[in-house]
């Protein structure tokens, strides 16, 4: 009851705001939220622990409505690594046709958790009638690289193993995420081809769904990075701080396991079909677009979708902004296209399981 009252008050406060004077081309409702958030949130000045509490508390204020008929099951893999499985109630699908998505939440590898992206995962499960598995991985700065990356691979291997144990088709199990979660998704795919971490993926994901992904931590000069440096919730300054918290030594920002865009072309050529979604008012817009072109030039099937008038993090604003709500559903619709594209491009015997080799 209290949460509902707070949500209504926050919505009313945002509605009464005059749109932010900057970003005249942005969706009007999103601009109003930017105005309110700039007045009360100021994420740049908060320590990670405080920022996490604020994100956790505000996750549902302007988010899309909670989906009915979707139930969940939480699973703990280790003390610091857990999963949340999403199923559509009463849904009976032929095991051979069951689709699945392993999803990594965004938050710059510093904030975010299972609850911050719960409503998005519920909506994907309900609309796509598919199993979604969200991953809660270790965060920086307490757990810098490669902790989060290795958690992502561990979680992927576990879900892929369960998928096969249940006699479901591994060709229908994809991977995805938003922001830093998009980085983790494509990193898992690349590590299958060229393993450089202490743990490697056992099987290649069938496809990758990347929403406003982090693909290049070296980026400090692209047009979108420079332009989106202020007057947004997630500015390039904040995202740069997140990058440095995750990988304190900037010399390591060029590693493919940190910046997937730095991978060799022959590695990129072996990756599965990808959908890359970008947003106009996003510091990560240009690197997302550039990564899509890198994949395409390497021969990978790529589905591109660009959301004009929306900022980074629009997937959390659908409860207040109609444009953001539509953007969420359009992004989810790309999963249908992606699954179809994956079936067309996957070799008969792919993705293949490999023997796991742990590096010393």
For 206-216, write each residue's pLDDT tens digit.
999 999 999 99
pLDDT value at 283 more than 70: yes
Does position 3 have pLDDT exceeding 60, yes or no? no
Q: What is the pLDDT of residues 254-273, one digit of tens each?
A: 999 999 999 999 999 999 99
Q: Residue written as tokens 């993705």?
A: 351
C-alpha–C-alpha distance, residues 252 and 190, integer Å: 17
Average pLDDT, the chain: 88
pLDDT at 20: 66
Backbone angles phi, psi at 299, to 5 degrees: 95, 10
The confidence score (pLDDT) of residue 137 equals 98
HSE, side-chain direction, 13 A CA sphere, residue 2? 1
pLDDT of residue 355: 42
Could you tell me the pLDDT band of residue 2, with boundaries at 50, 70 and 90?
Answer: very low
Q: How far apart are CA 180 and CA 197, in angstroms?
A: 18
- Alpha-carbon torsion angle 225, 124, 53, 136, nearest 10: -90
Alpha-helix residue ranges (DSSP H) falling in the chain: 2-16, 28-40, 48-58, 118-128, 147-165, 180-193, 223-227, 236-246, 265-268, 285-297, 322-345
pLDDT surpasses 60 at 293: yes
Q: What pLDDT does residue 277 have?
A: 98
Q: From the centroid of its chain, how far is CA 251?
A: 25
The residue to which tokens 């021969």 are assigned? 299
Task: Note the pLDDT of residue 47.
Answer: 77
Least confident among 6-15, 33-42, 236-245, 306-315:
6-15
Reported as a pLDDT band with limits 50, 70 and 90, residue 332 is very high
Which tens digits make up the pLDDT trace of 32-75? 887 777 666 666 656 788 888 877 776 677 788 888 889 999 99
Task: Look at 68 and 108; give whichever has higher pLDDT.
Answer: 108
Name the least confident of 58-62, 346-350, 355-359. 355-359
Mean pLDDT of 22-36: 85
Bigger pLDDT: 125 or 42?
125
pLDDT at residue number 32: 85
The pLDDT of residue 91: 63
CATH number listed for the domain at residues 2-345: 3.40.50.1820
Q: Within 13 Å and on the Cβ side, how many CA atoms surround 312?
A: 31
Residue 235 CA to residue 281 CA, distance in Å, equals 10
- Domain extent listing, the chain: 2-345
Rounded to two decimals, what is the model's pTM?
0.91
- pLDDT mean over 181-192: 98
């Amino acid at each position: 009851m209290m949460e509902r009252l707070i949500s209504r008050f926050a919505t009313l406060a945002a509605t009464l705001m005059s749109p932010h004077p900057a970003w005249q081309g942005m969706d009007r409702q999103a601009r109003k939220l930017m105005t309110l958030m700039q007045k009360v949130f100021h994420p740049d000045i908060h320590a990670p622990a405080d920022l996490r509490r604020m994100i956790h508390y505000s996750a549902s204020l302007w988010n899309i409505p909670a989906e009915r008929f979707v139930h969940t099951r939480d699973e703990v893999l280790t003390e610091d690594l857990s999963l949340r499985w999403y199923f559509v109630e009463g849904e009976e699908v032929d095991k051979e046709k069951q689709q699945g998505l392993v999803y990594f939440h965004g938050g710059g590898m510093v904030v975010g958790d299972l609850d911050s992206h719960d409503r998005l995962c519920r909506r994907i499960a309900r609309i796509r009638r598919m199993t979604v598995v969200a991953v809660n991985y270790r965060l920086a700065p307490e757990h810098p690289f490669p902790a989060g990356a290795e958690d992502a691979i561990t979680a992927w291997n576990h879900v892929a193993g369960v998928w096969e144990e249940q006699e479901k088709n591994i060709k229908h199990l994809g991977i995805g995420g938003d922001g830093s979660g998009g980085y983790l998704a494509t990193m898992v795919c690349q590590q299958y081809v060229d393993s450089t971490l202490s743990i490697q993926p056992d099987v290649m994901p069938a496809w990758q769904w990347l929403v406003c992904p982090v693909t290049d931590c070296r980026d400090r000069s692209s047009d979108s990075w420079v332009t989106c440096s202020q007057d947004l919730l997630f500015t390039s300054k904040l995202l740069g701080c997140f990058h440095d918290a995750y990988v304190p030594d900037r010399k390591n920002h060029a590693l493919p396991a940190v910046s997937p865009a730095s991978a060799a072309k022959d590695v990129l050529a072996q990756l599965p079909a990808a959908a890359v979604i970008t947003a106009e008012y996003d510091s990560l817009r240009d690197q997302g677009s550039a990564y899509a072109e890198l994949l395409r030039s390497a021969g990978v099937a790529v589905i591109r979708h660009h959301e004009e008038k929306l900022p980074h993090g629009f997937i959390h604003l659908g409860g207040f902004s109609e444009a953001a709500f539509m953007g969420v559903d359009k992004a989810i619709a790309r999963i249908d296209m992606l699954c179809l594209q994956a079936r067309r491009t996957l070799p008969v015997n792919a993705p293949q399981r490999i023997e796991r080799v742990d590096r010393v």
